[in-house]
A = this chain, B = another copy of it.
Amino acid sequence: MSEPFSFRLIACDTGARRGEIATPHGPVATPAFMAVGTQATVKGLAPEAVRASGADIVLANTYHLMLRPGAERIAALGGLHAFMNWPHAILTDSGGFQVMSLSKLRKVEDKGVTFRSHVDGAMVELTPERAIEVQGLLGADIAMQLDECLQLPAAPGELERAMRLSLAWAERSKRAFAGAPEGRALFGIVQGGDDAGFRRESARALTGIGFDGYAIGGLAVGEPQAVMLRIIEEVAPVLPADRPRYLMGVGTPEDLIEAVKRGIDMFDCVLPTRNGRHGLAFTRFGPINLKNARHAADPRPLDEESACPEARAYSRAYLHHLVRTNEMLGAILLSSVNLAYYQELMAGMRAAISAGKFAEYGAAAREGWACGDVAAL
């Protein structure tokens, strides 16, 4: 459990990279998809089920956990791995994104951000230093710097201000992280919105500071996919090749393939679990909305060739019934199915990169989605 943090590249296929991150809580095969465990639980799934889906690592949200049950509380209970009974790797975000999206009242200043807790209304201060402290108390294998993430579109002046503030916070985060236990890692976050110049400047400056890995933040916040991909294309080449690259908050299966193609190694997104709770299954035939009446009498499983037991064992008619009657089991089964499909996609991309067939793999996946789901006879 004392493996230091490292990243090694195993294979590349044009822009796509296959690698492995070593962490104090085990290896993470990349490209990696991180299931989101917002409040120290991947919604609806026990940790064994998350692991069974193929996950090496989960993401937990610093904002939520610092408010409830509190970082000091979790530290006293042995840290987040013990608390949530997840012995594998954990990445925590810095809390910045949720401060912006969840707190109705907030003030961003050079020293940090002050916000009103959505839990109890208390005013809470989050500085770059406190964000590092909190993530240290949680015991994250990978911590993120505090940054300011804007919604898009945003005015260029605002983008530049937030990007520079995030850089200043990056430096302070790195200093605050200096005393962290052996093996833990800190990632910087590239900001700059949809402005390629700001993005490159941010990436270069962060590389100058030096981090264990680099994230691209502030995307998937309302912009078209083409804008997101263009920014990745601008930023990835500026980042050091020997460090993992993490695209925050992304995305759809297609987003994942397009981003891996452009050199991204890590992702997190609530889509598989959130959509699962809303009756939507991700499959190799594309998304399937189980609320739809056409499934009501369909005895077929979602995908009889899936490696995921839940995708094989239950009929679409049964899943439709569970979704229509708002039974918890519907959300549970579809969350499992969706996480397993995301992990299958990542495993497929990793194998394709090693085989030098990434383009073929992506084309085949896309073809499956385009064919769509065949209705029952």
A residues within 8 Å of B by Cβ? 39-41, 43-46, 68-69, 73, 76-78, 82-85, 296-297, 299, 310, 313-315, 317-318, 320-322, 324-325, 327-329, 331-333
Please judge, given known A-B contacts A73-B296, A333-B46, whether A85 and B313 are in contact too, CB under 8 Å: yes
- Is there contact, CB below 8 Å, between A83 and B41? no
- Is there contact, CB below 8 Å, between B40 and A321? yes
Please judge, given known A-B contacts A318-B40, A321-B69, whether A332 and B296 are in contact too, CB under 8 Å: no
- Is there contact, CB below 8 Å, between A329 and B45? yes
Cα A117 to Cα B256 with chains together (Å): 46
- Is there contact, CB below 8 Å, between A299 and B43? no
In the complex, which residue of chain B has the Cβ closest to the Cβ of A119?
Answer: B325
- Is there contact, CB below 8 Å, between B69 and A317? yes
Partner of A299, one of B77, B318, B333: B77
Cα A85 to Cα B315 with chains together (Å): 9
Partner of A331, one of B39, B77, B322, B328: B328
The copy count of this chain in the complex is: 2
Q: Please name all residues of chain B whose beta carbon is closer than 8 Å to the beta carbon of A85 when the two chains form the complex.
A: 313-314, 318
Partner of A76, one of B297, B310, B321: B297
Q: How far is the CB of A343 from chain B (nearest CB, A)?
A: 19
Partner of A327, one of B39, B73, B315: B39
Q: How far is the CB of A153 from chain B (nearest CB, A)?
A: 34
- Is there contact, CB below 8 Å, between A328 and B327? no
Q: Please name all residues of chain B whose beta carbon is closer than 8 Å to the beta carbon of A322 when the two chains form the complex.
A: 39, 41
- Is there contact, CB below 8 Å, between A77 and B39? no
In the complex, which residue of chain B has the Cβ closest to the Cβ of A333?
Answer: B46
In the complex, which residue of chain B has the Cβ closest to the Cβ of A277?
Answer: B328
Cα A370 to Cα B221 with chains together (Å): 56
In the complex, which residue of chain B has the Cβ closest to the Cβ of A298?
Answer: B77
The 16 sampled A-B contact pairs (Cβ below 8 Å) are: A39-B321, A40-B318, A40-B321, A41-B327, A45-B329, A68-B325, A69-B324, A76-B297, A77-B297, A77-B315, A77-B317, A78-B299, A83-B318, A85-B318, A328-B332, A332-B332
Q: How far is the CB of A76 from chain B (nearest CB, A)?
A: 7
Cα A45 to Cα B41 with chains together (Å): 17
Cα A332 to Cα B328 with chains together (Å): 9
Q: How far is the CB of A250 from chain B (nearest CB, A)?
A: 24
Q: How far is the CB of A184 from chain B (nearest CB, A)?
A: 22
Q: How far is the CB of A75 from chain B (nearest CB, A)?
A: 11
Cα A324 to Cα B329 with chains together (Å): 21
Cα A158 to Cα B328 with chains together (Å): 39
Cα A44 to Cα B43 with chains together (Å): 12
Partner of A84, one of B45, B318, B328: B318
Q: How far is the CB of A73 from chain B (nearest CB, A)?
A: 6
- Is there contact, CB below 8 Å, between A325 and B39? yes
Q: How far is the CB of A45 from chain B (nearest CB, A)?
A: 7
Q: How far is the CB of A198 from chain B (nearest CB, A)?
A: 37
Q: Please name all residues of chain B whose beta carbon is closer than 8 Å to the beta carbon of A46 when the two chains form the complex.
A: 310, 329, 332-333
- Is there contact, CB below 8 Å, between B83 and A315? yes
In the complex, which residue of chain B has the Cβ closest to the Cβ of A327?
Answer: B41
